Amino acid sequence: MSADERREEILDAAVTEFALKGLHGTSTEVIARRVGISQPYLFRLYGTKKDLFLAAVERGFDRVAESFRVAVESNPEFPLAAMGTAYRRLLSHREELLLQMQSYVACADPDIQVVVRQRFGDLYRFVEQVSGANEEQVRKFFAHGMLLNVAAAMDLPTSIDGEDWAERCLCDET
């Protein structure tokens, strides 16, 4: 396996671990073990735990941005609705949304804050540009997205049976 392939494999494992336990709760030893390598080799490829976390965060924002781009291409007439539907689909890949939440929590670290703010800003500007929506609509779109992140953290999509408030919370509104 090439170093690039190994980096991707490590990144996949890191996304899972960081999504569940955050920057400070995740062990690089666990990530290394998941992919069958030594911890020193992991650090040869990623330098530091923070570098690995930032790579995972970048990947997460890349995936959301790509899902938005694809959604807009498939439904250019209603771009905001298309992006909303794409984001709701991420509920079935809970890791993506949990990693986002962990990235916001980790913003106490100035290096992480710079990256997260930049990437969130990029996403916000993209939605503004392609949606044709006004400022209030864009804010509501992102507010609803954050509600979906919180729902993912509580695992609501899979556990709403009999919880009428949860069903209302997850209504199809973007």
- Report whether pLDDT(1) > 90: no
Instruction: Please report whether residue 100 resides in a domain.
Output: yes
The pLDDT score that the predictor gives to residue 174 is 46
Total domains in the fold of the chain: 1
The pLDDT score that the predictor gives to residue 2 is 87
Instruction: Please report whether residue 33 resides in a domain.
Output: no
Q: 138 lies in which domain range?
A: 48-169
Instruction: Please report whether residue 31 resides in a domain.
Output: no
Instruction: Please report whether residue 62 resides in a domain.
Output: yes
pLDDT digits (tens, 9 = 90+) for 28-64: 999 999 999 999 999 999 999 999 999 999 999 999 9
The pLDDT score that the predictor gives to residue 90 is 84
- Report whether pLDDT(80) > 50: yes
The alpha carbon torsion through 95, 101, 104, 108 (nearest 10 deg) reads -90
pLDDT > 70: percent of the chain: 94
Instruction: Please report whether residue 74 resides in a domain.
Output: yes
- Angle between helix axes 94-105 and 3-25 (nearest 10 degrees) is 60
